[in-house]
Amino acid sequence: MATINQLHTKPAKRYDEFDPAQDGNKNTEFADLIIDGNSLYQKLKKYDMVPSLGWGSADHQRLIIDYFLMKQPHEYLYYRYPILVCPWCGDEECGFISVKIDREADVVIWKDFKLEPDNKRIPIGPFYFEWENYKSVINGTLGAAGEAL
């Protein structure tokens, strides 16, 4: 039996208050995914992408939530989902990091992280989450970075 990881989110920004890199850049706000006390955004920051949850239009946020709750497959990735995206527009054509999401009984599994469109494996995970907690955390990201556009 795999160890169950703890998932929660917190509102975050791409740049901190004193970061000179924020000048002239979009300082996107998003729902940071915290796994066992560690920020997924910070862990993957070198790719200059932000989590896909908690920002964008309300319709887009609901679509991303539905993906992460496996209510529907992604239109061309099927059961892989964009977990980190372009901080400017969130568009997958700009490149993104995808994750394979499976559910086995009451456990959700995130595995096989890849930098897209290069299909380059990123060596993190897998992560295992208890379904009820996972569902609550993912649903709670709607509007997490402020009011949906």
DSSP string, the chain: -PPPPPEEEEEEESS-TT-GGGTTS---EEEEEEETTEEHHHHTGGG--EESSS-S-HHHHHHHHHHHTTSS-BTTTBTEEEEEE-TTT--GGG-EEEEEEEEETTEEEEEEEEEETTTEE-----EEEEHHHHHHHHHTTTTTTSS--
> What sign does the dihedral 73-78-83-84 (CA atoms) show?
negative
Which residues of the chain carry a pLDDT beneath 50?
148-149
Residue given tokens 């649903």 in the structure block: 139
What the block records as the tokens of 124 is 């993190």
- Counted residue by residue, the chain has a size of 149
Rounded distance between C-alpha atoms, residue 14 and residue 27, angstroms: 5
pLDDT of residue 24: 62
pLDDT of residue 116: 93
Q: How many CB atoms lie within 10 A of CB 68?
A: 23
pLDDT of residue 1: 60
Whether pTM exceeds 0.85:
yes
Residue 84 CB partners (closer than 8 Å, separation 6+): 40, 41, 44, 47, 49, 50, 51, 52, 96, 97
pLDDT of residue 66: 94
